[in-house]
Structure 1
Amino acid sequence: MNSLLAPLLESMTSFHLHWLFLAHITFVILFIGVIISVRRPVGVAFAWIFIVVVFPLIGISLYILIGERPVGRSLRQKITRMNVPYAKITELLRQEYAADREKLPAEGRALSILAEASNGTPVMAGNKIELHTDSLKILQLFVDEINRAKVSLHLEFYIWALGGDADRVCEALIAAAKRGVACRVLLDSLGSKDWFKSSWPKRFREIGIQVTEALPIQVGRFQFRRADLRLHRKIFVVDGSVVWSGSMNMVDPRTFKQGAGVGEWVDAMVRVEGPVASQFELTFAFDWSVDNPDITSFDDRMPPASPVEGGAIAQEFSSGPVYRDDILYQVLLSAIIDARQELTITTPYFGPDDGLLQALMAAARRGVKVTLIVPKLNDSKLVAWSSRSYYEDLMNAGVHIAEFHGGLLHTKSLLIDKRIAIFGSVNFDQRSLRLNFEISLIIYNEDFCAKLEGLIGTYLAQSEYVDSQTWAKRPRWQKYLCNAAHLTSPLL
């Protein structure tokens, strides 16, 4: 009997393998068609094709989750609708403040024009800009600002963590709402998931504080909205005339992610008083209108505050998928290309594409002193390994790489020739460049740049430069590990 069944079983097995092979080929061909229809970067396209060819079920599932950049049809339509009045407001701002651009040198003027393209906001003179670097003091200053507020408090963050002095900010907001200050809180759904599960949202709403969850993750709708597109901005606007922004989330560094084994997160923020604060208020109002399902129109505009005598020229710079899609990439690329003497980057996550990598290498080779400062320990092992895959090429071109060992360096800054600074929420990686909603402040002021240079000096004092000769002698397995992680860099 077994001898009779054997040929039949063999035939059935061969039949199933034949159809599995055909199904695999069909899926791969269809997938390549999807990739071609989108026209994404070549490295990203081939990375996805490789994953699908080798691991078809896993690859296609991942692509459905994170392969495209959709924010969902309804949200896209709302952003498009809201962008019409937003564009009218920014056009009026560009007309009103056109004269301020003429106060910039030629290289600054060119960068400012690029940054205001695609409905961006213009440079504004007369801003008082302070640099703050102690996270606990910043949290106390947040409480002080809230206690002084008279009209409105608008807070927009990626993460609002529980515990420590972050809870003191919550209590201060409740007290402000009780005395009649209008409070709005906009937080990313994923980054602040623990906060949304806590008692704080209910307490806020009971006292009259408006709370909105940005980009909520909806199980079963991943095919319509990519789950990892995040609101990564950090904005705190007080009475429409003062704004705080930078790299710091609403977290107490003494308690935040202490189990990650990287030490305390090291952040910096700017406090801006003056007309440019209205640009951050405008971005907050736009985000609030888009993410709040109860709002169907957008017409908010706080009038800019009066300029501060002798203040700095500055420009808010927002970016994100759907609108202003590639402006961030173009601004960073232009800033690197325009550097003439010195270029310093601080970032916790480093994952440039070939264009930015070549620009950094070209800058070093033409004599620009290029310095990259990254944390020695990172909360993402994959990102850390991938980042190190760039070291050899960068150092061979003359780029100086310093690894910070005083905690997880989370400050995101770009200092160009000690005259222009880009400071905010943007990491030097594909996620910030392509996926997240980000915000930065571009400062065209040598006094502020000197303060930022001083802060960078304190980072370098707690860093070790990577030695190119020692790096070349690292174990072979480390090189393979970093290069393997590099293959995922277009997808991180």
Structure 2
Amino acid sequence: MNIIAFIFGSVFGFSLIWVPIVHAFIVLLFGIHLVSVRRPVGVAFAWFLIVILVPILGIALYVLIGERPVGRKLTRKIVRMNREYEKITETMRQQFAADRQKLPVEGRALSLLAESKNGSPVVAGNKIELHTNSLKILQNFIDEINNAKKSLHLEFYIWALGGDADRVCEALIAASQRGVACRVLLDSLGSKDWFKSSWPARFRKAGIEVTEALPIQIGRFQFRRADLRLHRKIFVIDGAVVWTGSMNLVDPRTFKQDSGVGEWVDAMVRIEGPVASQFELTFAFDWSVDNPNITNFKDREPPASPHEGAALAQEFSSGPVYRDDILYQVLLSAIMDAREELTITTPYFGPDDGLIQALMAAAARGVKVTLIVPKLNDSTLVAWSSKSFYEDLMNSGVIIAEFHGGLLHTKSLLIDKRIAIFGSVNFDQRSLRLNFEISLIVYNVDFCAKLEKLIESYLAQADYVDPKAWAKRPTWRRYLENAAHLTSPLL
């Protein structure tokens, strides 16, 4: 309190006798605000404690990252465009209503939940290929660009500089120059180095449209939360072929080599078939929302994509403005529906108590629950926080494996070897609450078998955490893990 009194007295120049009164008044008003917005209990108490200890800094941080607004102007735009988007998705749900009957019984409830709140329906007739070599994936991107006939739409969180990521840039410029319509949508923060480079100017000169998503604007923090991010990975070729998954447009040989965790290990899927049009529609909506020159959602209907295979699948998008909390509900439902096996791969593990309890309950009722995370992580705070969950999970029977072949960046859930959720979603509260994410839900045993084989290759390069040895770790580690866990609602 002496420190607080000194700050108040020095900054505002009034008698120190008023400091406790002002401090109490600030805390009271902040408490009333927290009650009015009905935040999760853990998040509310974390912020309340911060404001009690450091009121000025706490209030400032809360304004920056405490709420989830994208700004009044952008919110109005999203609401307006969502009306047109809703008409398209409703038509889509009616068109493919019969495909839900082709689902196995265990997948129907999950599919219906995923399409709720104006989501995409499950569709049959898709060909889905799993790709796991990042350099080959980049070369595949280049080949797709070179063979494109009409359009190329790219939406990524990060486009990094250097290596084969630059070759993708060159291929895109060449495609635009031969008449292919090219659009690039990148997150402002994730791709900040790219936006500062010469590539944006070169793209625009070649006729490529470039849009910066969720730009960080000094002076607008009071209207827009600074750390809401476009975390999706979508690459659409001619409206008929889609790539999605965990990989950003980065060359793993050059990306974050100073982080000390090795190369990023990713996986992507290539999709042909009707579900491709759902990803194209999501890109079109995101492009319209983030492009300041567009005032209305102009796409009347998604392009037709012929049947190419036998897989049942649906696109699953989520975000903090529209379809709020649907991602949490889908993940929770998937865990609760598991009957035999549940395997999760994620680079960042920081769920809330509800998801932790669901994982523990699944293991306790006999489900083989396996969690695979990186042994080394580029986020030290997240790494320590995630370890605070280990003991409770392992005591319930959850198997934890730490991958040591690099930074495992693949994000997937495999449920009973029959259903897979695969895409950009980390198993943490940032993906659940703050990011705009994209996933593919696949109801196909052949694809699940390929994903299972990939998971087995990860386990072959992983160390299983021994519950007995873990219980004997030094006391100071427990304190550090638990201290980091206190920040998890704010990460």
Q: After the TM superposition, list the runs of 4 or more consecutive aligned residues in structure 1 that deviate by more than 3 angstroms.
A: none
Q: How does 1:36-51 map to 2 (within 5 A)?
A: 36-51=35-50
1:238 aligns with 2:242: no
**Is contact 1:276–1:304 with CA below 8 Å preserved after alignment?**
no
CA distance in 1, matches of 2:397, 2:286: 41
Cα distance, 1:479 vs. partner?
0.3
Q: How does 1:203-218 map to 2 (within 5 A)?
A: 203-218=202-217
Q: 2: CA distance between counterparts of 1:22 and 1:243?
A: 59
Q: Secondary structure at the match of 1:44?
A: helix
> What does 1:288-303 correspond to in 2, within 5 Å?
288-300=287-299, 301-303=301-303
Question: What are the equivalent positions in structure 2 for 1:230-269 lying under 5 Å apart?
Answer: 230-269=229-268
* Residue in 1 that maps onto 2:6: none
What displacement does 1:454 show?
Answer: 0.3
- Indicate if the aligned counterparts of 1:135 and 1:268 stay in contact, CA closer than 8 A: yes
Are 1:364 and 2:363 an aligned pair?
A: yes
Unmatched segments (≥5 aa) in structure 2: 1-8
Q: Distance in 2 between matches of 1:129 and 1:92?
A: 24
1:485 and 1:18 map into 2 onto residues whose CA distance is 36
Letter in 2 for 1:318: S
Aligned to 1:3: none
The equivalent residue for 2:3 is none
Summarize deviations over 1:332-354 as a string: whole Å, max 9, x none.
00000000000000000000101
1:49-448 matches, within 5 Å, as 49-300=48-299, 301-309=301-309, 311-448=310-447
Question: 1:304: Cα distance to partner?
Answer: 2.5
How far did 1:60 drift? 1.0
Structure 2 letter corresponding to 1:303: P
**Is residue 401–residue 463 contact of structure 2 (8 Å, CA) maintained in 1?**
yes
What SS does the corresponding residue of 1:191 show, helix, strand or coil? Answer: coil
CA RMSD of aligned residues (A): 1.1
How many pairs align? 480
Contact conserved, 1:43 with 1:490, CA < 8 A, in 2? yes
Offset from partner CA, 1:306-342 (integer Å, 9 cap, x none): 1124x20000000001100011000000000000000
- The one-letter amino acid paired with 1:385 is W
For 1:329, the aligned partner's letter is Y
CA distance in 2, matches of 1:16, 1:474: 50
SS at match of 2:102: coil
Equivalent position amino acid for 2:126 in 1: N
1:302 CA drift (Å): 3.1
> Alpha-carbon deviation of 1:105?
1.4
| Counterpart position of 2:458 | 459
Q: Deviations over 1:5-42 (max 9, x none)?
A: xxxxxxx99x8332111111111001111111110110
Q: Secondary structure at the match of 2:230?
A: coil
Contact 2:69/2:225 (8 A) holds in 1: yes
1:206 and 1:348 mapped to 2: Cα distance? 37
Secondary structure of 2:165's counterpart equals helix
8 Å contact kept, 2:51–2:59: yes
Q: Distance in 2 between matches of 1:16 and 1:452?
A: 66
Q: Give how far 1:241 is off.
A: 0.3
1:217-273 CA-to-partner distances (Å, cap 9, x unmatched) read 000111100000000000000000000000000000000000000000000000001
Post-superposition Cα deviations, 1:355-374, rounded to whole Å, max 9, x if no partner, equal 10000000000000000000
Question: Could you give the per-residue CA deviations for residues 166-200 of structure 1, whole angstroms, max 9, x where no partner exists?
Answer: 00000000000011000000000000000000000
> Is the 1:352–1:429 contact (alpha carbons within 8 Å) kept by the matching residues of 2?
yes
Equivalent residue letter for 2:315: E
Instruction: Report the equivalent of 2:5.
Output: none
**48-57 vs 133-142, which deviates more?**
48-57
Give the Å deviation of 1:107. 1.7
CA distance in 1, matches of 2:139, 2:129: 15
> Which amino acid in the other structure matches residue 313 of structure 1?
L
Provide the TM-score with structure 2 as the length reference. 0.97
Distance 2:417 2:45 in 1: 39
Task: Measure, in 1, the Cα distance between the counterparts of 2:370 and 2:115.
Answer: 27
Partner of 2:477: 478
Are the counterparts in 2 of residues 131 and 270 from structure 1 also a CA contact under 8 Å?
Answer: yes
- Secondary structure, in 3 states, of the residue corresponding to 1:218? coil
Contact 1:86 1:299 in 2 (8 A): no
Distance 2:457 2:53 in 1: 47
Contact 2:68–2:225, Cα closer than 8 Å, also in 1: yes
**Identity percentage over the alignment?**
79
Residues 346, 413 of structure 1: 8 Å contact kept = yes
Q: Secondary structure at the match of 1:102?
A: helix
Post-superposition offset of 1:54: 1.2
Tell me the distance in 2 between the aligned counterparts of 1:358 and 1:73.
Answer: 36
Question: 1:413-449: per-residue Cα shift (whole Å, max 9, x none)?
Answer: 0000000000000000000000000000000000000
Partner of 1:7: none
Q: Would you say the 8 A contact 2:88–2:302 is kept in 1?
A: no
Contact preservation (8 Å) 1:161, 1:194: yes
The residue type equivalent to 1:31 in the other structure is: F
CA radius of gyration, larger in? 1
User: How far apart, CA to CA, are the structure 1 residues paired with 2:334 and 2:320?
Assistant: 21
| Letter in structure 2 aligned against 1:304 | A
Amino acid in the other structure paired with 1:148 = N
Partner of 1:5: none
Q: Give secondary structure in 2 for the equivalent of 1:184.
A: strand
